[in-house]
């Protein structure tokens, strides 16, 4: 490389580039193309200026070869993107858009896409580049369309460029690209629409395209066999579904099947996208009956049993179960799903965060409001799961987790089978109940009192707790309660 980039070579290249002979200019262009395939270090700045001269050649073949070399140099980061803009190459690259030659358009469009990936360059590209890019995005040439979509995606990464893109009529073009036969074009356009949808100010424009065309197109893409496209469409719909009208339309178009397919994905990020959208949709009460009838709980139950399920997936699954069961409780559907065993299984995972465990215990508390499910859980809980709940009840780093776990323990039916699992831990149970009685928070006191009252029916509890401290605090709690009643009165 030291032999290639010397002063003599630079002078020769400059002479060739400045020549009026197209063949001599082509020699310089081929030289750069060869270098672009093999160069492993930055191209010296002085050699970058010669590229500008070649792009200004009146010969289209020279321009095509040079722009191809520039694409390679930009992709391999041999050339500084900001320097390309500073040397004025943007103008001849944009002029190549008008050449009518698909290869020239393809190469120049790829250059613009690479340049637009740098935030500092976007303002320069916005001035004269948005309208030509939108025109090329409608090209019949697949490669040109692909690179144009790639460039438009980069322009959607900042607020200002997104606003300019929308004002220039970018939304209808991007929506149209969702119908492309190329999965890469679908992905670029869908991701750009996701970025645009992140700003609520653009929602009216996104939703104003007639006949719910955008939501229909995204829903179709969500059924794609290309999972990354399906997941990206799901993310876009999730952002838009804060609008109730969009929710209603998605339910009318039966969005359940593609969402269930995404829940079976091997990619956790894509499963999270589906769960996020489902949680948003279940927040709207009329949607819950349909989800229950479509067997969504079975898919969530299977997800809870997958080894790949992480804290985020389990937390979202708990929110979804609670949402589905908050209005229309079909106890049989819950029993037939694997949700109950999946939730209990989650308790045993040592890798779950406190926040996730809080969601799990809160979901279990909710399900235990129904007698049939309470009976099922009381007979299916394992010794290890009971001990885990007792441990979580006694931890002090997260009071809400402690409260939820204790509430679950004392929601179990006091059958002989369950009490046999709890008896080895009565000492630990008494410790956290005493902590509850000592707290100023009334809900902890009330749970402690109710739990002691329930456990006193088992003679083994009185035998295990002999120091009398619980009884003393119960008396104090009674006095405090009376005083509170008097104050309230």
DSSP H helices in 456-489: 459-464, 469-488
Mean pLDDT of 63-81: 94
Higher-pLDDT residue of 462 and 425 is 425
Name the range with the highest mean pLDDT among 46-55, 199-208, 449-458, 476-485: 46-55
Can you give the pLDDT at residue 294?
Answer: 84
Are 103 and 64 contacting, i.e. CB atoms less than 8 angstroms apart? yes
Can you give the pLDDT at residue 479?
Answer: 65
Q: How many helices (H) and strands (E) does the chain have?
A: 32, 0
* pLDDT level of residue 225 (50, 70, 90 thresholds): confident
Burial of residue 263 (number of CB atoms within 10 Å: 0-12, 13-18, 19+): buried
pLDDT(483) > 70? no
Can you give the pLDDT at residue 489?
Answer: 60
List, in sequence order, every beta strand (DSSP E) within 296-400.
Answer: none
pLDDT(328) > 70? no
pLDDT(18) > 70? yes
pLDDT > 70 in the chain, percent: 95
Mean residue pLDDT of the chain comes to: 88
pTM for the model? 0.78
pLDDT > 90 in the chain, percent: 48
Can you give the pLDDT at residue 242?
Answer: 80
Torsion of CA 39, 45, 47, 51, to 10 degrees: 100
Mean pLDDT lowest for which of 13-22, 31-40, 400-409, 435-444? 435-444
C-alpha distances (whole Å) from 272 to each of 41, 238, 320, 325, 394 are: 41, 11, 12, 20, 31
Mean pLDDT lowest for which of 70-79, 93-102, 330-339, 473-482? 473-482
Can you give the pLDDT at residue 177?
Answer: 95
Can you give the pLDDT at residue 55?
Answer: 94
Higher-pLDDT residue of 391 and 3 is 391
Angle between helices 268-282 and 244-252 (to 10 degrees): 110
Can you give the pLDDT at residue 484?
Answer: 58
């Amino acid at each position: 490389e030291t032999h290639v980039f010397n002063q003599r070579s630079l002078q020769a290249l400059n002479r060739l580039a400045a020549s009026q002979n197209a063949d001599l200019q082509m020699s310089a262009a081929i030289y750069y193309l060869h270098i672009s395939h093999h160069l492993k270090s930055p191209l010296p700045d002085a050699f970058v200026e010669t590229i500008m001269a070649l792009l200004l050649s009146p010969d289209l073949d020279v321009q095509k070869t040079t722009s191809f070399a520039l694409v390679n140099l930009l992709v391999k980061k041999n050339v500084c993107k900001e320097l390309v803009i500073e040397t004025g190459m943007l103008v001849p690259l944009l002029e190549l858009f008008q050449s009518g030659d698909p290869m020239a358009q393809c190469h120049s469009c790829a250059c613009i896409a690479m340049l637009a990936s740098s935030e500092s360059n976007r303002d320069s590209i916005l001035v004269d580049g948005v309208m030509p890019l939108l025109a090329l995005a409608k090209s019949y040439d697949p490669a040109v369309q692909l690179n144009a979509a790639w460039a438009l995606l980069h322009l959607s990464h900042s607020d200002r460029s997104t606003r300019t893109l929308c004002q220039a009529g970018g939304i209808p073009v991007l929506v149209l690209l969702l119908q492309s036969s190329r999965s890469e074009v679908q992905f670029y356009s869908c991701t750009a629409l996701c970025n645009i949808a992140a700003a609520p100010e653009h929602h009216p424009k996104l939703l104003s395209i007639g006949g719910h065309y955008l939501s229909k197109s995204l829903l179709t893409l969500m059924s794609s066999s290309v999972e990354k496209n399906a997941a990206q469409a799901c993310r876009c719909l999730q952002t838009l579904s804060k609008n109730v009208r969009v929710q209603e339309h998605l339910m009318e178009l039966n969005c359940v099947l593609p969402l269930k397919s995404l829940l079976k994905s091997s990619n956790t990020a894509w499963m999270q996208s589906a769960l996020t959208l489902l949680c948003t949709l279940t927040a709207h009460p009329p949607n819950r009956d349909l989800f229950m009838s479509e067997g969504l709980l079975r898919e969530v139950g299977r997800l809870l049993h997958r080894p790949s399920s992480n804290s985020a997936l389990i937390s979202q699954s708990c929110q979804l179960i609670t949402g589905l069961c908050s209005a229309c409780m079909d106890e049989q559907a819950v029993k037939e799903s694997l949700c109950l065993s999946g939730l209990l299984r989650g308790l045993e995972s040592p890798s779950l965060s406190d926040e996730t465990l809080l969601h799990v215990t809160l979901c279990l508390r909710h399900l235990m409001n129904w007698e049939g499910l309470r009976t099922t859980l009381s007979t299916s809980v394992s010794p290890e799961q009971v001990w885990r709940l007792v441990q979580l009840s006694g931890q002090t780093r997260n009071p809400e987790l402690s409260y939820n776990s204790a509430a679950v323990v004392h929601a179990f039916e006091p059958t002989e089978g369950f009490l046999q699992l709890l008896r080895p831990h009565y000492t630990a149970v008494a410790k956290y109940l005493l902590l509850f009685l000592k707290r100023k928070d009334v809900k902890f006191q009330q749970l402690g009192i109710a739990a002691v009252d329930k456990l006193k029916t088992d003679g083994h509890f009185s035998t295990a707790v002999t120091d009398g401290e619980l009884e003393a605090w119960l008396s104090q709690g009674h006095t405090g309660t009376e005083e509170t009643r008097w104050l309230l009165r």
